[in-house]
């Protein structure tokens, strides 16, 4: 009898809990969106009420104040170059680690995995000195180089697992018999088969790089090289914050990322599942 009651009431109760959780999660998003259309007085007196009218003046002010076209271009350059570097270098490193089963290669792979357990913030002082010694301070290349280094760790792990589980070594052996070099075999045979895991790495890396605040704060000093999050940070007051001015900046910064994520999310589960069949 108890099992029947569980079957009868368990699923509706679970669904009700999920609906409540979804509503609670949506409240901050709702508050963010409706505040962008309000005056400071309305936002203070009626924080959760709908705006009386759709006033886009806050967005126009945010567009001008944060110089949105410039910071969007800087953010896009950093994101695209960082993600391309992560995909290229990580896939090549993972290919070598997966196909050469030497003791040194196994040690090197474990060394990369250990990097997932150590936060890169522990080496910020030395990293700052290195970037300064290379003459890359206040250049977008500085943020790109650091992003590639920090983002390659998880990417190598995903590519390595995918090579072992989903890329048949027989295809590469056939290419070697036909006279292909290791370099040619990788680019013509192995790399085209990595599309699911490449999509996953691209999505995860894009989310991390676009939302990164620490690296641009450390290595970008002039406003001409600012990215979106730095411009948002510039408009946070020391003693008070005008939320009706700040929230449009946040929404304009997140909107491109949301569009990208919604367009690419179907590849996440496919790529992770395909790369996790064998580790």
Q: Are residues 117 and 136 in the same domain?
A: yes
Q: Are residues 27 and 146 in the same domain?
A: no
Q: Are residues 193 and 98 in the same domain?
A: yes
Mean pLDDT of 124-140: 89
Query: What distance in Å separates the CA atoms of residue 159 and residue 190, rounded to the nearest whole number?
Result: 11
Quick one: angle between helices 195-210 and 140-166, nearest 10? Answer: 150
The CATH number for 96's domain is 1.10.3720.10
- DSSP for 61-96, please give it: HHHHHTTHHHHHHHHHHHHHHHHHHHHHHHHHHHHH
Query: What distance in Å separates the CA atoms of residue 164 and residue 168, rounded to the nearest whole number?
Result: 8
Query: What distance in Å separates the CA atoms of residue 23 and residue 69, rounded to the nearest whole number?
Result: 34
Q: Are residues 150 and 254 in the same domain?
A: yes
Look at residue 279 in the predicted model and tell me its pLDDT. 43
Here the tokens at position 33 are 């969106």
Q: Are residues 66 and 146 in the same domain?
A: yes
Average per-residue pLDDT for the chain: 84
What is the extent of the structural domain holding 200?
A: 58-275
Q: How confident is the model at residue 49 (pLDDT cuts 50, 70, 90)?
A: confident
Q: Are residues 89 and 131 in the same domain?
A: yes
Look at residue 155 in the predicted model and tell me its pLDDT. 92
Q: Are residues 62 and 49 in the same domain?
A: no
Q: Are residues 201 and 118 in the same domain?
A: yes
Final residue before a domain boundary, out of 18, 34, 57: 57
Contact 175, 226 (CB under 8 A): no
pLDDT tens digits for range 76-110 = 999 999 999 999 999 999 998 888 878 888 888 88
Q: How many domains does the structure of the chain reveal?
A: 2
Q: Are residues 191 and 229 in the same domain?
A: yes
pLDDT tens digits for range 161-211 = 888 888 888 888 888 888 888 888 889 889 988 888 898 899 889 989 999
Q: Are residues 42 and 132 in the same domain?
A: no
Look at residue 65 in the predicted model and tell me its pLDDT. 86
Q: How confident is the model at residue 9 (pLDDT cuts 50, 70, 90)?
A: low
pLDDT tens digits for range 200-236 = 899 889 989 999 888 999 899 888 888 998 888 887 7
Query: What distance in Å separates the CA atoms of residue 55 and residue 62, rounded to the nearest whole number?
Result: 13
């Amino acid at each position: 009898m108890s099992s029947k009651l569980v079957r009868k009431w368990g699923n509706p109760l679970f669904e009700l809990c999920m609906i409540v959780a979804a509503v609670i999660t949506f409240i901050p998003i709702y508050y963010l969106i409706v505040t962008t259309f309000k005056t400071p007085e309305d936002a203070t007196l009626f924080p959760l009420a709908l705006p009386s009218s759709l006033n886009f003046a806050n967005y126009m002010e945010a567009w001008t104040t944060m110089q949105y076209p410039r910071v969007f271009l800087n953010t896009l350059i950093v994101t695209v170059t960082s993600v391309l570097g992560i995909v290229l270098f990580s896939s090549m490193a993972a290919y070598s680690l997966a196909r050469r089963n030497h003791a040194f290669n196994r040690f090197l792979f474990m060394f990369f995995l250990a990097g997932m357990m150590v936060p890169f913030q522990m080496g910020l002082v030395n990293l700052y000195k290195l970037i300064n010694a290379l003459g890359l301070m206040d250049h977008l290349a500085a943020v790109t180089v650091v992003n590639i280094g920090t983002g390659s760790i998880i990417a190598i792990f995903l590519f390595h697992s995918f090579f072992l589980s989903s890329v048949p070594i027989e295809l590469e052996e056939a290419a070697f018999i036909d006279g292909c070099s290791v370099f040619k075999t990788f680019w013509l045979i192995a790399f085209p088969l990595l599309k699911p895991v490449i999509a996953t790495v691209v999505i995860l890396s894009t989310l991390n790089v676009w939302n990164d605040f620490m690296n641009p704060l450390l290595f970008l000093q002039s406003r001409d090289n600012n990215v979106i999050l730095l411009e948002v940070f510039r408009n946070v007051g020391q003693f008070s914050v005008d939320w009706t001015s700040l929230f449009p900046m946040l929404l304009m910064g997140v909107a491109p990322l949301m569009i990208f994520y919604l367009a690419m999310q179907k590849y996440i589960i496919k790529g992770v599942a395909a790369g996790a069949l064998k580790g």
